[in-house]
Structure 1
Amino acid sequence: MATGLLGRMHRLRHASGWIFGTMLFSSCLSLIASFVLSKEAITLAADPNANLSCNINAVISCGTVGSAWQSHLLGFPNAFLGLIAEPVVITVAAASLAGVRFPRGFMYAAQIVYTLGLIFAYWLFYQSMFHIGALCPWCLLVTLSTTLVFSTLTHINIRDGNLFLPARLSSALRTGIGFNLDLLIVVIWLLMIVLAIVLKYGDRLFG
């Protein structure tokens, strides 16, 4: 019975419905967070001393993060990029759930663009952790959701051979996701992020 249950869970986890459903849910979370961050950016632009709802303490402070130059790297609030990008991801995920199969070149381009988005999200996380010295809950939600979207997109592209990789490497990666190594990597990675936050800020997170 246990073996049968594990088999069903394995098939569910690798089914397109589950993968694209996870992508859709994660991108919706990111869109919501981007909307809130955009609204707060407008509030801070009108009043730099505004007390935002997520200004909890010296560490958990959206105002501190939102006022830093890193939050306006391109001359406008970074959250505006989320308002542009996430609807595209939502459309891809919803269309894929409906049975649309996008061309290989399109999925490859999506992988490249979202990889750049992931790098940017983690650059912002690094800046918050080690230079700004404060964390924004909505920004952390964007980091989490971006990680989940990236992992699901990568899973699909490896499974379907959309990345134009050498045959041997492509086969090895498909074997890896078949053993759920991608899931293991994501879980370990997210736990490491939580551990890094706790080790750096400790009790100040709740002070």
Structure 2
Amino acid sequence: MPEQQTHARPTGFAIWLVIAGVVGWWAAFSLTIEKLHALANPNAIASCDLSVLVQCTKNLDSWQGSLFGFPNPIVGIAGWVAPIVVGMAILAGARFARWFWWCFWAGIAFAFGLVLWLIGQSIYDLHTLCPWCMVTWSVTIPTFYAVTLHLLRAGVVPVSERVRHAADRLMAWVPLATIVSFAIILLLAQVEMDAVVNIWQTLFG
């Protein structure tokens, strides 16, 4: 039987899962299309190649872009379905067993860890910022924060009432935590490859 969770139906959390899943899936799908287009037309320029710094071709063609033996976006196409399904199920009134939430969190944590590793590879090895990759980062990071806090506040993780209340309050700070996370990423990119100036010149000429 599903665990009797103590937190009310998390509508806002569920809506975010659906939105994040759709955005993440679309980014993965778009990258997959770019990869297929490149395979069919090796000399073609990808639509997401805006400059030497802001591009996705170098990322897709690198070994980091096919970490599991096939293009990474395929993992995203499969994986981002899960948040959509879970979010829709919550909105429909579903309640999940504790083991299910742990499995779901493990998948999100894996995605978060992979994204952090790919961010490091993009900045320090490839020296590029892939537009569709950054879209993926923008939904993976807050989703990890939100799912982790939800497991704490909903009693899935056996913690004290005080910790549960703190996690519930911290949920409202996920957007700010995401902004801070991206500021750190931008700072690292700026220090390593003067990203701010390059992006400004790319966007505004």
Q: Provide TM-score, normalisation by structure 1.
A: 0.83
Contact 2:152/2:163 (CA < 8 Å) preserved in 1? no
Q: Provide TM-score, normalisation by structure 2.
A: 0.84
2:28 to 12, 24, 34: 34
The question of 1:55 aligning with 2:49 is answered yes
User: Structure 1 residues 179 and 122, CA, compared in 2 at 3 Å: closer, same or farther?
Assistant: closer
Contact 1:31/1:82 (CA < 8 Å) preserved in 2? yes
Structure 1 stretches lacking a partner, 5+ long: 1-13
1:116 to 110, 114, 126: 110
1:128 maps to a residue whose letter is S
**Superposition pairs of residues 52-201 of structure 1, within 5 angstroms:** 52-163=46-157, 165=158, 167-168=159-160, 171-172=162-163, 174-180=165-171, 182-183=173-174, 184-199=176-191, 200=193, 201=195
Residues 30-70 of structure 1: CA deviation (Å, up to 9, x unaligned): 00001001111112223333201111111001111111110
Q: Secondary structure at the match of 2:95?
A: coil
Contact 1:155/1:177 (CA < 8 Å) preserved in 2? yes
Query: Residue 82 of structure 1: CA displacement?
Result: 0.8
Q: Secondary structure at the match of 1:84?
A: helix
Count of residue pairs the alignment pairs up: 191
Query: Residue 182 of structure 1: CA displacement?
Result: 4.8
User: Structure 1 residues 103 and 134, CA, compared in 2 at 3 Å: closer, same or farther?
Assistant: same
2:66 maps to a residue whose letter is H
Q: Secondary structure at the match of 1:162?
A: coil
Give percent identity, aligned residues only: 24
Contact 1:20/1:152 (CA < 8 Å) preserved in 2? no
